[in-house]
Structure 1
Amino acid sequence: MADLVRSNAGAFQTIKKGDIVEGTIKKLTPKEILLDIGAKGDALVIEYDKKNLENLLALLKVGDKVKASVISAESEEGFPVVSLRRMLDDIIYNRFEDATSGNKSLFITITDSTRGGYFGQTDDGIRGFLPNSQVIDEESLVGKKTEVKIIEFDRDKKRVIFSQKATKYVIDPEVISQSAKKGDIVEGAVTNVTSYGLYVTIKSKKGDGLIEGFIHISEIAYERVENLSSLYKKGDSLKAQVLELDSENRRVNLSVKKTLEDAFSSVKEKYKVEQKIKGKVTDVKGRGVTFEIEKGIFGFIPANKLPSTSSYAVGDSVSCEVTDIDARRRVIIASPILKAIPIGYR
């Protein structure tokens, strides 16, 4: 009898907590999942997370061979308790790896937002981050389902970075650098106008994709630009020169003014100290008055040169004398020509 007990015991697999065991799905229902792992009794799969349970039911079927982690070799009821979470993670993250290497799109639901972007979740329950720099939609995405691609994936850290822009633009820095090299003149279409610059779309040289470009407000014109929305609107076409590759944001930085003639380059030859000039006032501030002498060339009267008996308004004509040329600020410093010198004027 003792020999019979020993022979039966040897037929069963000996397990302990933490072991990885192979088994066959014997029962698969929302209320109970059982595995045949070769132990004295069927192993019960424990999964408290609703999303993980839904994934198990969707991905598995009775008869499938699986690997499970032993949580308890023998519960109070006498059967083993195991988890399929590690196996489930392997299945899902293998899909992510395939999507990343194959440059495939997937859909995520945006769950919440932060200052830097959005957190989104796949139908499999995997969370990832969608940075603002990789967002196309201008309106809030919270609660919406959106198409993205995976641009960064770290399985060990379970870190996933999504991108909306990757579904529309070429985002591989190497490919971008080959299509838009420094100094190239490119044509683009404005996709967004902000207070700090323009976002544009340009075609790759091979014509097999679109590249995002960004033009900072300081690269629009040689003269100071205050209001971009008065100059450009969404859909406008423009020419620009490639300044550099922005690897971090996966786009190129562009300049419109580099394609234009710099009117200020000949100022020192054209305008001399004590020369008489005329213009129309374009701006009045506490520090002084700015006026346009000709297209692209501006003069500036410092506040300490403004007579107390005179006032200036935008559109007024002024007659001045050149006192200096400020190349850094790109203005001609001037002093108003006075018919009579007020008391105390310097």
Structure 2
Amino acid sequence: MADDMNQVEVRSFAEGDKVKGTVTKVEEKQVLVDISGSKLDGIVPISELSSLHVEKASDVVNEGDELDLIVTKVEEELLVLSKRKVDAEKAWDEMKQRFEEGKVFEAEVKEVVKGGLVVDLGVRGFVPASLVEDHFVEDFTDYKGKTLTFKIVELDEEKNRLILSHRAVIQGEKEEKKKGLLEKLETGQIIEGKVQRLTDFGAFVDIGGIDGLVHISQLSYEHVEKPSDVVSEGDTVKVKILSVDRDNERISLSIKETQPGPWSNLSEKAPRGQVLKGTVKRIVSYGAFVEVFPGVEGLVHISQISHKHIGTPHEVLTEGQEVDVKVLDVNEADQRLSLSMKEFEDKADFEEKYELPEENTGFQLGEMIGDKLKDLK
């Protein structure tokens, strides 16, 4: 009689009906439940407990848990039920809303599989390896069990396809940070940064979430052949902000302007009378500019090039020539340095020399006059 009653009650249910059930027993590959509002039992196979692969039922539910279930099969005296399908229906509704709103949410990484990560959101969410971080990751083993932030980047319920991205969240955070930083930056500020990469024309420096360019001409007061001669990737450097283009997110920086200038304390390095070695850099009509320290050029006026009279400096000097010079005057404030080269010449070498008549010529002046007088007679 009881069996007949059960059969009658079972027939009152149909596939697709939603019911509530209380877990009465957890076996390895299935769960037994008591259907609320009836005297029927139901079975939830392990494959219907979760959208993810489950090794044993106890990993998902415990005795006494109340579950929302859906009928997948009606047998003679019991119902075959699914927790997974109910969870999926609820999950898809929530995922659609999150996708439309571009919402960021947290979730735990349940599995590490070939090609990426798997997340349980009531439905299976997949994170391709390329969308995990904004940098290359060789091994994802340590990601299992981690809680990360995600955005949904692709959703197709019919194909049961849900693609997540942690990288998109990171990039979004960086963009927000970049905007905030751009608003705070001002020309003339001196801040600390880290050299990110080098190019032929300079170095890109991270100044807290945004990169600025230090042009090769702004790396040092000295002439720089290539940026790697001055800085290396990973170096921490002080930089001065030269300009900020907020619309195009471009920042020009200088390292050399955070350092003492080449003219700083020059009067100590090159006091009056100091003898220095230098290189002729430029020749002009009124003299020659000689570099005596990196970034410091002094003028040798044409009158200080040689004791000998010269029409143009080109008669004596050529660009690139190494010369000795003597400091005549230093003006740090105006960045002027007066030099002399003629100090190293022997002035006597350029004085006119006249030969005196020999003391004994073999005849006397009187004799010459006497001979002339004789001729006149």
- Which bin holds the TM-score, normalised by the shorter protein? 0.3 to 0.5
With structure 1 as the length reference, what TM-score do the two structures score? 0.48
With structure 2 as the length reference, what TM-score do the two structures score? 0.45
**Higher-Rg member (1/2):** 2
